[in-house]
Amino acid sequence: MSRIPFLSRFALLLGALLLVAPLVVAAKGPRKSKKDEVVTITTPQGAIRLILFDQTPLHKANFLKLATSGFYDGTTFHRVIPDFMIQGGDVNSKDDNPSNDGAGSPDEKMIPAEIRPEFTHKYGAVAAARSPDFVNPQRSSSASQFYIVENHRGTSHLNGAYTVFGQVISGLDVVDKIAAQPTAERDRPLTDIKMTVKVEKLKKKKITELYGYQYE
């Protein structure tokens, strides 16, 4: 029987462990962060706070990028419909021409749909606006425009058709106040409802304590 020197045997054992270690780490999967971003939308009617879902990563990253860059500051909720939803986030709403609000930029890059069955259009759901199916069969989302469901019973007829990527955790009364504002043509408020948006990273435990939002 051949003899393997002690150091050689140790080297073989170490090599085997190094091969197995990455497999063990991969089996555990990525570690979930203990923190999350709280987005605060401040309007003349008050503040709306929301969280964005990790399960819709493209929409979450895009919204946070726009919010932290100041893109949304000065945009308006340009379309409000009582018992339905409030919509905003169009760059055109920053100018003095109300007729182009909601049109978006002609060269804007759309976001691939991330429609998930577990995220429905319940009261306070945050979803991405988009072009109709006949010009957008992939149901890709607008690069910046979003809406918040104001109907207290939800808008279930929109489920499966638009990407829901967040949820209001504070300020639902503010959503109701915005939806109640007087409007003119195309459901545009008579008085501009301008917003400023900021992002704050907090521990998930703190978010639950402050706003009652429960993480899975």
Q: Does residue 86 fall inside a structural domain?
A: yes
In eight-state DSSP terms, residue 143 is: S
Q: Does residue 166 fall inside a structural domain?
A: yes
Q: How many angstroms from the chain centroid is the CA of residue 140?
A: 14
The number of distinct structural domains making up the chain is 1
pTM for the complete prediction?
0.84
Q: Does residue 5 fall inside a structural domain?
A: no
- What string of DSSP letters covers 150-164? --TT--GGGTTTS-E
- Report the CATH number that the domain containing residue 71 is assigned in CATH: 2.40.100.10
pLDDT tens-place string over residues 46-91: 999 999 999 999 999 999 999 999 999 999 999 999 999 999 998 8
d(CA 13, CA 92): 64
pLDDT tens-place string over residues 133-144: 998 999 999 999
Q: Does residue 21 fall inside a structural domain?
A: no
